[in-house]
Chains A and B, each alone.
Chain A
Amino acid sequence: MQIIQQVLFVVALGAIGYLLFKRGSFIWRNITLGKDVKLNPEEKSERLKTTMLIAFGQKKMFARPMVGFMHFMIYAGFLLINIEVLEIVLDGLLGTHRLFSSTLGEFYSFLINFFEVVALLVVISCVLFLVRRNILRIARFHKPEMKGWPTSDANIILIWEIALMFALYTMNATDSILQSRGIAHYPVVGPDGFAVSQFLIPIYNGLSDSALVALERSAWWVHIIGILSFAVYITYSKHLHIFLAFPNTYYSKLRPKGEMDNMDAVTKEVKIMLGEPVDESGEEEEVGTFGAKDVKDLSWVNIMNAYSCTECGRCTSECPANITGKKLSPRKIMMDTRDRAEEVGHNIDKHGADHEDGKSLYGDHITKEELMACTSCNACTQACPVNIDPLSIILEMRRYVAMEESGTPMEWNAMFQNIENNQAPWAFPPTDRFKWADDLKVKE
Chain B
Amino acid sequence: MDMLKVPTMADMAAEGKEPEVLFWVGCAGSFDDRYKRVTISFIKILNAAGISFAVLGPEESCTGDPARRAGNEFLFQMQAMTNIEVLNGYNVKTIVTACPHCFNTIKNEYPALGGNYEVIHHSTYLQQLINNGKVKMKEGGEFKGKKITYHDSCYLGRANDVYEAPRKVLEALDADLVEMKRCRTKGLCCGAGGAQMFKEAESGDKEINIERTEEALATGANVIASACPFCMTMMTDGVKNKEKENDVKVLDLAELIAISQDKN
In the assembled complex, which residues on chain A have CB atoms less than 8 Å from the CB atom of B194?
Answer: 374-377
Q: Which residue of B lies closest to A264 (CB)?
A: B112
Across the interface, A375 reaches (CB within 8 A) one of B108, B154, B203, namely B154
Q: Is residue B166 contacting chain A, with contact meaning CB distance below 8 A? A: no
Across the interface, A442 reaches (CB within 8 A) one of B4, B113, B189, namely B4
A231 to chain B, nearest CB (A): 35
Q: Which residue of B lies closest to A267 (CB)?
A: B77
| In the bound complex, CA of A442 to CA of B43 (Å) | 12
| Contact present for B189 and A375 (CB under 8 Å) | yes
The residue in B62, B104, B188 that gathers the most chain A C-beta atoms within 10 A of its C-beta is: B62
| Contact present for A323 and B72 (CB under 8 Å) | no
Please judge, given known A-B contacts A259-B108, A260-B68, whether A376 and B27 are in contact too, CB under 8 Å.
Answer: no
In the assembled complex, which residues on chain A have CB atoms less than 8 Å from the CB atom of B161?
Answer: 256
Across the interface, A324 reaches (CB within 8 A) one of B67, B71, B187, B207, namely B207
Please judge, given known A-B contacts A270-B78, A320-B211, whether A433 and B57 are in contact too, CB under 8 Å.
Answer: yes
| In the bound complex, CA of A372 to CA of B62 (Å) | 22
Q: Is residue A103 contacting chain B, with contact meaning CB distance below 8 A? A: no
| In the bound complex, CA of A298 to CA of B192 (Å) | 26
| Contact present for B75 and A419 (CB under 8 Å) | yes
| Contact present for B81 and A276 (CB under 8 Å) | yes
| In the bound complex, CA of A369 to CA of B77 (Å) | 26
Q: 8 Å CB contacts to A: which residues of B19-64?
A: 25, 27, 29-32, 36, 39-40, 43, 55, 57-58, 60-62, 64
Across the interface, B199 reaches (CB within 8 A) one of A412, A430, A436, namely A412
B216 to chain A, nearest CB (A): 14
| Contact present for B71 and A403 (CB under 8 Å) | yes
Q: Is residue A428 contacting chain B, with contact meaning CB distance below 8 A? A: yes
| Contact present for B199 and A257 (CB under 8 Å) | no
The residue in A273, A402, A435 that gathers the most chain B C-beta atoms within 10 A of its C-beta is: A402
| Contact present for A433 and B58 (CB under 8 Å) | yes
| Contact present for A440 and B4 (CB under 8 Å) | yes
Q: 8 Å CB contacts to B: which residues of A404-444?
A: 408-409, 411-412, 414-416, 419-420, 423-426, 428, 430-437, 439-444
| In the bound complex, CA of A415 to CA of B158 (Å) | 26
Please judge, given known A-B contacts A419-B79, A433-B31, A433-B58, whether A290 and B73 are in contact too, CB under 8 Å.
Answer: yes
B8 to chain A, nearest CB (A): 7
Q: Is residue B185 contacting chain A, with contact meaning CB distance below 8 A? A: yes
B211 to chain A, nearest CB (A): 5
In the assembled complex, which residues on chain B have CB atoms less than 8 Å from the CB atom of A400?
Answer: 71
Q: Is residue A373 contacting chain B, with contact meaning CB distance below 8 A? A: yes
Q: Is residue B205 contacting chain A, with contact meaning CB distance below 8 A? A: yes
| Contact present for A375 and B191 (CB under 8 Å) | yes
In the assembled complex, which residues on chain A have CB atoms less than 8 Å from the CB atom of B185?
Answer: 382
Q: Which residue of B lies closest to A426 (CB)?
A: B31
In the assembled complex, which residues on chain B have CB atoms less than 8 Å from the CB atom of A291?
Answer: 71, 73
Q: Is residue A332 contacting chain B, with contact meaning CB distance below 8 A? A: no
| Contact present for A324 and B199 (CB under 8 Å) | no
Please judge, given known A-B contacts A263-B73, A270-B74, whether A431 and B58 are in contact too, CB under 8 Å.
Answer: yes
Mask for B134-151, Cβ within 8 A of A = 1, else 0? Answer: 000000000000000000
| In the bound complex, CA of A376 to CA of B71 (Å) | 12
Q: Is residue A46 contacting chain B, with contact meaning CB distance below 8 A? A: no
| Contact present for B72 and A402 (CB under 8 Å) | yes
A389 to chain B, nearest CB (A): 12
| Contact present for A436 and B154 (CB under 8 Å) | no
| Contact present for B70 and A258 (CB under 8 Å) | no
Q: Is residue B1 contacting chain A, with contact meaning CB distance below 8 A? A: yes
Q: Is residue A266 contacting chain B, with contact meaning CB distance below 8 A? A: yes
| Contact present for B71 and A401 (CB under 8 Å) | yes
Q: Which residue of B lies closest to A436 (CB)?
A: B36
Q: Is residue A47 contacting chain B, with contact meaning CB distance below 8 A? A: no
| Contact present for A411 and B199 (CB under 8 Å) | yes
Across the interface, A376 reaches (CB within 8 A) one of B60, B109, B193, B199, namely B193
Across the interface, B159 reaches (CB within 8 A) one of A257, A416, A432, namely A257
Please judge, given known A-B contacts A271-B81, A377-B158, whether A443 and B6 are in contact too, CB under 8 Å.
Answer: yes
Q: Is residue A217 contacting chain B, with contact meaning CB distance below 8 A? A: no
Q: 8 Å CB contacts to B: which residues of A236-260?
A: 255-260
| In the bound complex, CA of A310 to CA of B208 (Å) | 27
In the assembled complex, which residues on chain A have CB atoms less than 8 Å from the CB atom of B39?
Answer: 436
In the assembled complex, which residues on chain B have CB atoms less than 8 Å from the CB atom of A321?
Answer: 202, 204, 208
Partner-B contacts on A (CB < 8 A): 255-260, 262-263, 266-267, 269-271, 273-274, 276, 290-291, 318, 320-321, 323-328, 369, 372-379, 381-382, 395, 398-403, 408-409, 411-412, 414-416, 419-420, 423-426, 428, 430-437, 439-444
List 24 interface pairs A-B (beta carbons < 8 Å), by A numbering.
Answer: A256-B108, A256-B160, A258-B104, A260-B109, A262-B109, A262-B112, A320-B191, A324-B207, A327-B204, A376-B69, A378-B159, A382-B186, A395-B69, A395-B71, A402-B73, A403-B74, A408-B71, A415-B66, A419-B66, A425-B27, A437-B43, A437-B55, A440-B40, A441-B5
Further 15 A-B residue pairs, CB within 8 A, beyond A375-B189, A426-B32: A256-B160, A258-B108, A258-B155, A260-B69, A269-B74, A372-B202, A375-B194, A382-B158, A398-B71, A415-B66, A420-B75, A426-B31, A434-B8, A437-B6, A437-B43
